[in-house]
Structure 1
Amino acid sequence: MTTHYQPAFSFELFPPKTTEGMEQLKQTVARLNAVRPLYFSCTYGAGGSTRERTFETVTWLREQGITTAPHLACIGSSEEEIRAIVQHYREQGVDRLVALRGDLPSGMGRLDSGTFRYANELVTFLRREFSDEFYIEVAAYPEFHPQAPSAMADLENFKRKVDAGANAAITQYFYNADAYFALLDSCAHLGINIPIIPGIMPITNYTQLARFSDACGAEIPRWIRRRLEYFGDDRDAIRAFGHDVVLDLCERLLEHEAPGLHFYTMNQAAPGLRLWADLGLTGYRL
């Protein structure tokens, strides 16, 4: 790596459902925070289904003086609801947001219900109401959003979010680096020049990963699937193989000077810290 290249690293958390889960999360954050991440993001359930737990998690992170980027999902919410949430975060000193459409709440059934339909409308609202008070990140999809009618439609939707005022983007996780590089090329062709940070999902549990991937449209390359299937219930073998796969991916991304890496931790510290150590990034800000 060249001396001027300083990638930024961050971690995603999800709000625990139980008191025990919150205590475990606090231990995880303490371990991860020791390597000085740029920030932690915190997810937000469909239609605000985890809203109070998200607030609790963000409040605790801010009490520790940790830079926090709450996810803000807009589908099914009114302007008044979004305004109140953002004002609440502003009072806590939050200055980063991850602006998302979010999944349709159970029983809604219609994308045009509520004030917001798409994330670009949320970004537009945030800029109108709060100007440049927040650094806004949005989602990007190297393998295209599963609900997009075409690859070009997905890219055009991404451009609308950028044009609305997004500062940067975080990608859905992927295991094919060429998909990410192709996304960068397509964005450059469309005049999109914001940082697009790869989302990294460590491989520790194949059943869970397959379920997530089927739901979100992230591809697990056939050769990886077949190896993981071969290992069956051998968790140690799955973790060792998965670590090597993700380590190689991260190395290739950083060699091509990706602006950073955003780790989907699943509230676990060990996989991310092992990647950090084996990437040899001592001296960089994680």
Structure 2
Amino acid sequence: MSTPHVSFEFFPPRNLDQSFRLWETAKALAPLGPDFVSVTYGAGGTTRQLTHEAVSALTTHCGLNVAAHLTCVDATRDETMKIVADYAAVGVHEIVALRGDAPQGHDKFTAHPDGFASSVELIEAIAARGDFTIRVGAYPEPHPESPDTAADVAWLKRKVDAGATSAMTQFFFAPDTYFRFRDACAAAGIDAPIIPGILPIQGWAGTRRFAERCGTSVPQWADDAFARAGKEGEAALAHELCVDLCEKLIAGGVDRLHFYTLNKPELTAAVCGALGIVAQPELVKVA
């Protein structure tokens, strides 16, 4: 089995304890040599400043290649492009360009009157600068606002045509979910890499609720397996299932994996180790 390239997603800290947790997560996973790490926004862009601070710190002090999430939510075009310029100024040259979710208290996304109306418009504006690698999201199962997968594939094609160079998928539980989507994207003429998004299960109850919010289907076998495992066996089962999913993806031709770490590095690191990804301590830079 070939060893895949990996990348990791973090979220920005909201308090001092979370700052230490992010720092420890970055130090734990940096030796695995990720192609990049991404840093999210909160719902509705609520952590915009925190995201910028985390991105700057990870770039400057950890030497990681950071892809900053950027959304269209609640900002003018000028404000959004000022953020892009600020990222360039601190040495960040990768962005995960997203439309973003509706702010709290709103049922659906509504564009700012002077802002970008969609992720495609945002991608086009960033691409016009010519100095950023642009990554985007993809949905192997229909986005909650999408009628079907065909519509999601068509929208992804528009994002790639606008300047996106790769996509990370929403997480999923069955490898065939990814393979069907990958094949549909290839048939639509999408030649950018479609990187599977992997969510190591930190707790089944919470993961299940998250899946329901994201539109990720939950297979009955997973419910049954975690019910049998109980609390005592949950961690071992989570590790086994994640390794199995990754191995099946790799056997099907996948050479890159994107892990949603939830700022909890232990399970992600253990899965990477099982896949043959060897830590290289010399890659850790703390300035």
TM-score by length of 2: 0.91
Q: Give aligned-pair identity as a percent.
A: 39
Look up the match of 1:176: 174
Question: What stretches of structure 2 of length at least 5 have no aligned partner?
Answer: none
Match of 2:52 among 43, 55, 61: 55
Look up the match of 2:82: 84
For residues 251-275 of structure 1, what are the alpha-carbon distances to aligned partners after superposition, in whole Å with 9 as ceiling and x for unaligned?
0111222130010001011101110
Match of 1:98 among 91, 96, 100: 96
For residues 135-179 of structure 1, what are the alpha-carbon distances to aligned partners after superposition, in whole Å with 9 as ceiling and x for unaligned?
111011111212102222121111111111100000001111111
Look up the match of 2:153: 155
* Alpha-carbon distance in 1 for matches of 2:179, 2:81: 36
Q: How does 1:67-146 map onto structure 2 within 5 Å?
A: 67-109=65-107, 111-114=109-112, 115-128=115-128, 130-131=129-130, 133-146=131-144
Match of 1:44 among 28, 41, 48: 41
Farther-moved stretch of structure 1 (9-18 vs 32-41) = 32-41
Look up the match of 1:259: 255
* Alpha-carbon distance in 2 for matches of 1:56, 1:260: 27
Residue 109 of structure 1 and its aligned partner are, at CA, apart by 4.7
SS at 2:253 equivalent? coil
Residue 201 of structure 1 and its aligned partner are, at CA, apart by 0.3
Residue 106 of structure 1 and its aligned partner are, at CA, apart by 2.2
* Alpha-carbon distance in 1 for matches of 2:259, 2:66: 14
* Alpha-carbon distance in 2 for matches of 1:110, 1:172: 19
Look up the match of 1:19: 16
TM-score by length of 1: 0.92
Farther-moved stretch of structure 1 (105-114 vs 37-46) = 105-114
* Alpha-carbon distance in 2 for matches of 1:137, 1:237: 36
* Alpha-carbon distance in 2 for matches of 1:240, 1:268: 16
Q: Aligned pair count?
A: 278
- Give the AA of the match of 1:19: L
Residue 110 of structure 1 and its aligned partner are, at CA, apart by 5.2
SS at 2:146 equivalent? coil
Is the 8 Å Cα contact of residues 15 and 43 (structure 1) preserved in structure 2? yes
Asked whether 1:269 is paired with 2:258, we answer no
Match of 2:223 among 208, 222, 225: 225
* Alpha-carbon distance in 1 for matches of 2:279, 2:262: 25
* Alpha-carbon distance in 2 for matches of 1:244, 1:195: 26
